[in-house]
């Protein structure tokens, strides 16, 4: 498991796991180490993870602005979620007005959901 500081293209934390360890097992320790590795000059924090990071302990830690063992304050985050049938049905029931462009340029994704 790797944690990458995207703007610097730098690995800030890693964990070598046996091949039989599921990706979703305990991603929080790696996330904590990654945030601890950032220099003090970093004052805004964001986290982006794939579906393996859709894990309750990690999500709870990211939401908690008074989190233990990590930066205090807001961490913006986006975590992929597996498209379960119930989730797909819920998304399909949303009206078109619930969607808006992310950016107004050629590189923008088609649309994103806003709440």
**Ordered alpha helix ranges (H), the chain:** 28-37, 56-63, 85-92
How do residues 47-58 score in pLDDT, each as one tens digit?
Answer: 999 999 999 999
Structural domains of the chain, count: 1
Residue 103: band (very low, low, confident or very high) from pLDDT cuts 50, 70, 90: low
The mean pLDDT of 86-114, rounded to a whole number, is: 73
- Cα separation of 76 and 48, whole Å? 9
pTM (2 decimals)?
A: 0.75
- Cα separation of 52 and 50, whole Å? 5
Containing structural domain, residue 30: 2-113
How do residues 13-66 score in pLDDT, each as one tens digit?
Answer: 999 988 898 888 999 999 999 999 999 999 999 999 999 999 999 999 999 999
């Amino acid at each position: 498991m790797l944690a990458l500081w995207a703007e610097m293209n730098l690995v800030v934390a890693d964990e070598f796991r046996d091949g039989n360890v599921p990706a979703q097992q305990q991603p929080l320790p790696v996330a904590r180490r990654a945030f601890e590795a950032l220099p003090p000059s970093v004052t805004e924090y964001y986290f982006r993870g794939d579906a393996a990071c859709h894990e309750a302990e990690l999500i709870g830690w990211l939401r908690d602005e008074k989190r233990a063992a990590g930066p205090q304050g807001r961490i913006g985050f986006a975590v992929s979620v597996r498209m379960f049938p119930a989730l797909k049905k819920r998304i399909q029931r949303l009206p078109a007005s619930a969607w808006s462009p992310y950016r107004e340029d050629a590189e923008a994704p088609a649309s994103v959901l806003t709440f």
